Amino acid sequence: TKETTKYKRVILKLSGEAIAGKQGFGIHPDTIKEMVEELKDIHDLGVEIAIVVGGGNIWRGTIGEEMGMERAQADYMGMLATVMNALALQDVLENSGVPTRVQTSVEMRQIAEPYIRRRAIRHLEKGRVVIFAGGTGNPYFTTDTTAALRAAEINADVILMAKNNVDGVYDSDPKENKAAVKYDNLTHLDVISKGLKVMDSTASSLSMDNDIPLVVFNLNESGNIRRVILGENIGTTVEA
């Protein structure tokens, strides 16, 4: 008998940071392995998992812009960075026996499938983990926005916003202010009106307009993905 899970279909947003691990940059397969063990666990519970990967561990458009590059061009590089992370993640997942498909928003057919919404849903129904790479495919957007967009498109129950060493949303930066207070529950409107740093504002508005709940939680504590999936309120939940 399977445990009852609170969510059936989830989008996990993994930032580049989560792939870099302690080294803080680039790709760290051992860090990915630890995370994949936890993903395997919820995959075994029958949860349909789609992952949106970031690329900040390799490159960000804003870095290029600061160096004098054209922003759109630098953003294309950022999108390619997310593809590298997606392939690393796919490799580790498949080595652990989890079937996967990578879909890219910008076509590169020799490497991965192009993003096709209905096909992504079919993969999920068949128990494959779908990794969405390339962000939205447009410059000036982020992978947080991609997570909100894909969540709406595939009808995900929730976006799991996995954070590195932060266990939720606070009223001020807990690393700077010892008196910072954590929120257990927030509305999307709270996040936007209080200017809380959960997602960028485009991603927040999209989540609000489409009624997509988020759970912000600490990825670095083992068992947390499972706790969230089983409905334990360990982080901050953001809803309508």
21 binds ligand UDP (CB under 6 A): no
Of 16, 21, 168, 235, the one binding ligand UDP (CB under 6 A) is 16
Find the binding residues for ligand UDP in span 115-144 (CB under 6 A). 135-136, 138-139, 141-144
Question: Least distance from C-beta 178 to ligand UDP, angstroms?
Answer: 26
Q: Residue 229's CB: how many other CB atoms inside 10 A?
A: 23
Q: Is 207 in the site for ligand UDP (CB under 6 A)?
A: no
- Shortest distance in whole angstroms from residue 147 CB to ligand UDP: 9
Asked whether position 103 contacts ligand UDP by CB under 6 A, the answer is no
Q: How many residues of this chain bind ligand UDP (CB under 6 A)?
A: 21
Q: Is 60 in the site for ligand UDP (CB under 6 A)?
A: yes
Closer Cβ to ligand UDP, 136 or 224, answer by number: 136
* 54, 166, 215, 228: which one binds ligand UDP (CB under 6 A): 54
What is the contact surface with ligand UDP in residues (CB under 6 A)?
15-16, 54-56, 60-61, 75, 78-79, 81-82, 135-136, 138-139, 141-144, 146
